[in-house]
């Protein structure tokens, strides 16, 4: 008997965690696997942020916080949005959650009913489509490719909008492609959405600081869509705080109320010590932490130069985040060392089994022919991983 709800039956496990768990199991068996699966900084949390968390424990911040977060944190987030993005928000418009993941879910749960459509430019982050399904909605995909840097155009967006469209959900900088939308591109997108007041933009900006050109634009900066936009951000990537689980949304007042209502029935306020530590993180000059971005930039160059030499790979040059998303169409529908490669997920499994390198296939990101490599790993591991893959594919029997 299937006791699961239809809602659960519709869902898949998060592929990023599926692949990272596979690597973990292989390592436990003594195999020397290199993991380029999960997108999380490999740095430790900076010392001043840790100190702030210790202080919060000693000062007994051990009770429930307000559902949308401590006021001082929401104020610090408003200051950050003003300082970095020239955006005006009041603390009442901010909802602090257990990671940006929950912030996105809060927004979707506030606006999506059964059968509603949510537009996802593909490739998209693995959880978007699953979250839409969780809410009973239907994802509408916009196809992009490596030739246009995996970015949708305003024209493509307009032709995807219907009376059932509730939201446009995308990340810029993008996980998995590493591209980001420029000011002029976002302006065109904003002009389209402004014509359709029933559409809400969910702008996931969690990789904002990991932008090698330093040119981040938030679509909420365009006044014509400010009232239609939920900005999502958080502490995981920029401050290496993935396990601390602090993310936030900045919304128009009507939507902020929705987020608080959903969160108040689901998880309550986020972890109090991590909230207090986040105040310190956001108030510290980011130059303190920029060494992480510089390190990611060096690794990007390293991987780009090595990956270009791998046979059958068409490599994009990512401008932001810490992912490569090369196209491996060359290997699709071929048999490698006796294994038939139907799609990018089969290819990722091939790399795991034969080269002992863990990656994530593009299928759950909405792309059949690309594979995601996280380069949030040490230089030594990155060099070794590229070497293993190159040698493995050079030697492979292909038919
Ligand atoms: N959005 C994107 C694009 C992500 O890659 C991630 C995962 N790191 C998240 C949101 C969720 O981040 P977190 O829940 O750790 O804040
Ligand atoms: N977002 C990261 C990734 O894309 C962490 C895993 C997850 O939350 O799915 O790998």
Question: How far, in Å, from the CA of 100 to the mean position of ligand 1?
Answer: 6
Average pLDDT (140-147) is 95
Is 296 in the same domain as 255?
A: no
Do 280 and 301 have their domain in common? no
What number is the average pLDDT over the span 127-152? 96
Nearest atom in ligand 1 to 40's CA: 8
Cis peptide before 123 (omega within 30 of 0): yes
- The answer, yes or no, to whether residue 354 has pLDDT greater than 90, is yes
CA of 16 to the centre of ligand 2 (A): 6
Residues 327 and 293 in one domain: yes
Q: Tell me how far apart the alpha carbons of residues 369 and 278 are, in angstroms, rounded to a whole number.
A: 38
Predicted confidence at residue 1, as pLDDT, reads 81
38 and 58: one domain? Answer: no
Three-class SS of residue 234?
strand
14 Cα–ligand 2 center, Å: 8
Same domain flag for 367 and 273 = no
The answer on 231 and 117 residing in a single domain is yes
- On whether both 310 and 247 belong to a single domain, the answer is no
CATH, residue 299: 3.90.1150.10
Residue 223, CA distances (Å) to 162, 246, 268 in order = 23, 27, 32
CA-proximal residue: ligand 2, atom 9 (nearest): 16
> Rounded CA gap, 159 and 314, in Å?
29
Choose one of 230, 251, 285: the last residue of a domain. Answer: 285
With residue 251 as reference, give the H or E element that holds it.
none
> Which DSSP state fits 225?
G
- Return the pLDDT at 297: 97
Task: Kindly give the pairing relationship between strand 200-204 and strand 229-234.
Answer: parallel
Last-in-domain residue among 232, 251, 285: 285
User: What tokens appear for 126 in the block?
Assistant: 């693995």
In what helix (H) or strand (E) does residue 295 lie, and over which residues does it extend?
helix 290-307
Atom of ligand 2 nearest to the CA of 125: 4
How many distinct structural domains can be found in the chain?
2
Q: Which atom of ligand 1 is nearest to the CA of 101?
A: 14
The alpha carbon of 2 and the centre of ligand 2 are apart by a number of angstroms equal to 29
Probe residue for ligand 2, chosen from 21, 35, 40 as the CB with the greatest number of ligand atoms within 8 Å: 40
Per-residue pLDDT at 2: 85
Ligand with an atom nearest the CA of residue 207: 1
Q: Are residues 237 and 293 both part of a single domain?
A: no
What average pLDDT does the segment 360-380 reach? 96
C-alpha 233/C-alpha 208 separation (Å) is 8
User: What is the rounded CA–CA span in Å between residue 371 and residue 327?
Assistant: 7
In a domain, 330, yes or no: yes
For residue range 74-113, list pLDDT tens digits in order.
999 999 999 999 999 999 999 999 999 999 999 999 999 9
Ligand nearest to the CA of residue 15, numbered in listed order: 2
> Which ligand 2 atom sits nearest the alpha carbon of residue 15?
9
Residues with CB under 6 A from ligand 1: 39, 99-101, 125, 171, 175, 204, 206, 234, 236, 242, 247
- Looking at residue 160, which CATH number applies to its domain? 3.40.640.10
pLDDT tens-place string over residues 262-300: 999 999 999 999 999 999 999 999 998 999 999 999 999
Q: Tell me the three state secondary structure of residue 397.
A: coil
- 92 falls within a domain: yes
- Alpha-carbon torsion angle 129, 39, 123, 153, nearest 10: 110
Going by pLDDT thresholds of 50, 70 and 90, the confidence category of residue 324 is: very high
Contacts of 138 (CB under 8 A, 6+ apart): 115, 116, 117, 118, 132
Domain that holds residue 35: 6-44+289-395
Local confidence band at 118 (pLDDT 50, 70, 90 cut-offs): very high
Is 161 within a domain? yes
Distances from the Cα of 218 to the Cα of 38, 84, 94, 232, 289, angstroms: 25, 10, 16, 10, 21
Residues with CB under 6 Å of ligand 2 are: 14, 16, 38-40, 126-127, 175
Instruction: Answer yes or no: are the C-beta atoms of 246 and 270 closer than 8 Å.
Output: yes
CA distances (Å), origin 139, targets 18, 136, 228: 22, 10, 19
Quick one: tokens of 22?
């596979």
Give the up-direction half-sphere exposure of residue 231: CA atoms within 13 A in the CB hemisphere. Answer: 29
How far is it between the farthest Cα atoms of the chain?
66
Per-residue confidence at 28, pLDDT binned at 50, 70, 90? very high
Is residue 1 one of the residues assigned to a domain?
no
Do 382 and 258 share a structural domain? no
222-244: average pLDDT: 97
Q: Please indicate, yes or no, whether residues 96 and 225 belong to a single structural domain of this protein.
A: yes
Beta strands at 138-142 and 117-121: parallel, antiparallel or unpaired: parallel
Beta strands 323-324 and 200-204, pairing class: unpaired
Burial group, residue 26, by CB count within 10 angstroms (0-12, 13-18, 19+): middle
Choose which residue among 12, 16, 247 to substitute to test ligand 2 binding: the one with the highest number of ligand atoms within 8 A of its C-beta. Answer: 16
Mean pLDDT score, 305-309: 98
- Residue 387 and residue 250 share a domain: no
Q: Within its chain, how far is the Cα of 374 from the centroid?
A: 12
Residue 250 has pLDDT above 90, yes or no: yes
pLDDT score recorded for residue 229: 98
Q: Is residue 158 domain-resident?
A: yes
CA 237 to centroid of ligand 2, rounded, Å: 10
Show which of 285, 320, 347 is a domain's final residue. 285
How much is the pLDDT for 182?
97
Same domain (yes/no): 296, 273: no
Residue 338 covered by a domain: yes
| Ligand (nearest to CA of 205) | 1
In ligand 2, which atom is closest to the CA atom of 101?
A: 8
Query: What is the separation, in whole angstroms, between the first and last Cα of the chain?
Result: 43
Average pLDDT, the chain: 97
What local confidence, expressed as pLDDT, does residue 116 receive?
98
d(CA 375, CA 316): 14
Give nearest CA residue, ligand 2 atom 3. 39
Q: What is the pLDDT of residues 177-231, one digit of tens each?
A: 999 999 999 999 999 999 999 999 999 999 999 999 989 999 999 999 999 999 9
Q: How many CB atoms lie within 10 A of CB 173?
A: 26
Question: In this structure, what token pair is assigned to residue 354?
Answer: 């034969």
**Residue 155 covered by a domain:** yes
């Amino acid at each position: 008997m299937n006791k699961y709800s239809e809602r659960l039956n519709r869902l898949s496990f998060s592929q990023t965690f599926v692949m990272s768990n596979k690597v973990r199991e292989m390592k436990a068996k003594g195999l020397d696997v290199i993991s380029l699966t999960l997108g999380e900084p490999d740095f430790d949390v900076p010392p001043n942020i840790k100190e702030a968390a210790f202080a919060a424990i000693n000062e007994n911040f051990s009770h429930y916080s307000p559902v949308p977060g401590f006021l001082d944190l929401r104020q610090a987030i408003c200051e950050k949005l003003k300082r970095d993005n020239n955006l005006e928000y009041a603390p009442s418009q901010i909802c602090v959650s257990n990671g940006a993941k929950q912030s996105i879910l809060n927004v979707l749960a506030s606006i999506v009913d059964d059968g509603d459509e949510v537009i996802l430019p593909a490739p998209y982050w693995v959880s978007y489509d699953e979250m839409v399904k969780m809410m009973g909605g239907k994802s509408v995909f916009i196809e992009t490719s490596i030739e246009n840097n995996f970015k949708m155009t305003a024209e493509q967006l307009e032709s995807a909008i219907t009376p059932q469209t509730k939201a446009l959900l995308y990340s810029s900088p993008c996980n998995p492609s590493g591209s980001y939308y420029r000011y002029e591109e976002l302006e065109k997108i904003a002009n389209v959405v402004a014509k359709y007041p029933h559409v809400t933009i969910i702008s996931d900006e969690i990789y904002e600081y990991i932008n090698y050109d330093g040119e981040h634009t938030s679509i909420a900066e365009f006044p014509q869509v400010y009232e239609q936009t939920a900005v999502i951000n958080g502490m995981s990537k920029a401050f290496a705080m993935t396990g601390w689980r602090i993310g936030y949304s900045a919304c128009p007042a009507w939507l902020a109320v929705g987020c608080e209502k959903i969160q108040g029935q689901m998880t309550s306020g986020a972890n109090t010590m991590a909230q207090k530590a986040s105040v310190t993180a956001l108030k510290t000059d980011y130059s303190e932490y920029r060494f992480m971005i510089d390190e990611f930039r060096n690794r990007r160059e390293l991987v780009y130069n090595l990956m270009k030499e791998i046979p059958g790979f068409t490599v994009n040059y990512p401008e932001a985040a810490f992912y490569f998303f090369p196209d491996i169409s060359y290997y699709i529908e071929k048999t490698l060392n006796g294994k038939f490669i139907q799609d990018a997920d089969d290819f990722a499994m091939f790399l795991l089994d034969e080269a002992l390198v863990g990656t994530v296939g593009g299928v759950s990101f909405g792309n059949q022919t690309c594979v995601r490599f996280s380069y949030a790993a040490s230089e030594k591991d990155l060099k070794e991983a590229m070497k293993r893959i190159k040698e493995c594919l050079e030697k492979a029997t292909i038919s």
